[in-house]
Amino acid sequence: MKNRILYTKPSITEKEVEYATDAARNGWGERCHEYINRFEESFKQHLGVHYAIATSSCSGALHMGLAALGVGPGDEVILAETNWIASAAPITYLGAKPVFVDILPDTWCINPELAEAAITPRTRAIVAVHLYGNLCEMDQLLAIGDKHGIPVIEDAAEAIGSIYHDKRAGSMGRFGTFSFHGTKTLTTGEGGMFVTNDPDLYEHVLTLSNHGRARGQTKQFWPDMLGFKYKMSNIQAAIGCAQIERIDELIHAKRNIFLGYREGLKDLPLRMNPEKIDTVNGYWMPTIVVDEGVPFDRDHLLALFRKEGIDGRVFFWPLSSLPMFDAQIEHQVSYGIYLRACNLPSYHDMSIADINRVCKVIYESMQRGREY
Ligand SMILES: *Cc1c(COP(=O)(O)O)cnc(C)c1O
């Protein structure tokens, strides 16, 4: 009986178990913030930013960050058409409108020229999402942001390990957000992080994150503003501390898995996550996009995967194709890519034999002999 190849699976070692156990046993009362503080410090060091706030999710971090930028009813926030709903939903929580623009065909990330063209007097932010670990064109986006006085923010939930011109994904925008959901490269089960280099924005989000209670406020039960409750628990942070100590190992494994796929699939007419010059891709999610005009049936591939005990996933749907938005089929790159694409399994301990098993099914689905 062949082993089942899971799509993702966290890497939990004795270190995570030890820290979580310690937090469960001792991390209460005066020590209830120890792992949270330590996780935030380690994360800041890893990323090279001044401030970090651990949160219960990336969605919560985005919600608070956008609220702190003053995004509100009637405002517009620009992001790429191809995205997970979590990057768009917090915009709607604030009564603002997500404005979708098409993606670049090579990185599957936001097209900067189209982002600039979509700016109106109501635009309050541009969200750069580094999709599947692939990097947005940050120089161009930041220049556009500067020119129009609009903050560029980074949803780096999928981009731990990705580096753009010596800067880590999430460290370049007005603020950055991360997710530590169970499927992400670094996980705390559920969790996230807000990061920034802006001291005022940090203080604002810190206050928002604690039910609106400002640091230094001595009156008890006294919120200074209406805030949120998106905090990470000390036990989750303990797991995070262990994971961030192992971050190089976690990223290295993702990169190795990707390279295994790239080698295994090199004879097929398809493209995978790019790694442009002067960038490093954290390769959170190995993804294939079959060349245009080549016969390929995504659902057939997923069915073959299922038969072989392999978990695959569809590429993100265009957000505007979802029931809560109005379809914008003129976004031809987004609408042209998702049916030609598929996400491949990539968990930490995945063996080369398992990678080859997946490659074999992809060859089969494209009705080609395996040529290696
Ligand atoms: C996973 C993910 C999120 C959501 O993260 P949560 O922690 O589940 O809120 C947001 N944006 C992107 C790009 C993601 O991949």
Domain ranges (residues) in the chain: 14-245, 247-371
Determine the residue of 79, 83, 87 to mutate for testing ligand 1's pocket, defined as the one with the most ligand atoms within 8 A of the Cβ atom: 87
Q: What is the pLDDT of residue 271?
A: 97
How many residues belong to the chain?
372
What is the distance between the alpha carbons of residues 186 and 251, in angstroms, rounded to a whole number? 9
Determine the residue of 154, 158, 186 to mutate for testing ligand 1's pocket, defined as the one with the most ligand atoms within 8 A of the Cβ atom: 158
Give yes or no for residue 158 CB within 6 A of ligand 1.
yes
Give yes or no for residue 142 CB within 6 A of ligand 1.
no
Give yes or no for residue 187 CB within 6 A of ligand 1.
no
**Does the domain at residues 14-245 carry the CATH identifier 1.20.1060.10?**
no
Give yes or no for residue 155 CB within 6 A of ligand 1.
yes
The backbone torsions φ and ψ at residue 28, rounded to the nearest 5 degrees and listed phi first, read: -130, 170
- Which tokens is 98 given? 């997500």
Q: Which fold has domain 247-371?
A: Aspartate Aminotransferase, domain 1 (3.90.1150)
What is the distance between the alpha carbons of residues 232 and 38, in angstroms, rounded to a whole number? 13
What is the distance between the alpha carbons of residues 167 and 278, in angstroms, rounded to a whole number? 10
- Pairing of the two strands 192-196 and 270-272: unpaired
Across the beta sheet with 287-290, the strand order is 270-272, 287-290, 341-343, 313-314
Q: What is the pLDDT of residue 372?
A: 42
Q: What is the pLDDT of residue 242?
A: 98
Determine the residue of 179, 187, 232, 313 to mutate for testing ligand 1's pocket, defined as the one with the most ligand atoms within 8 A of the Cβ atom: 179
Residues in the chain with pLDDT values less than 50: 369-372
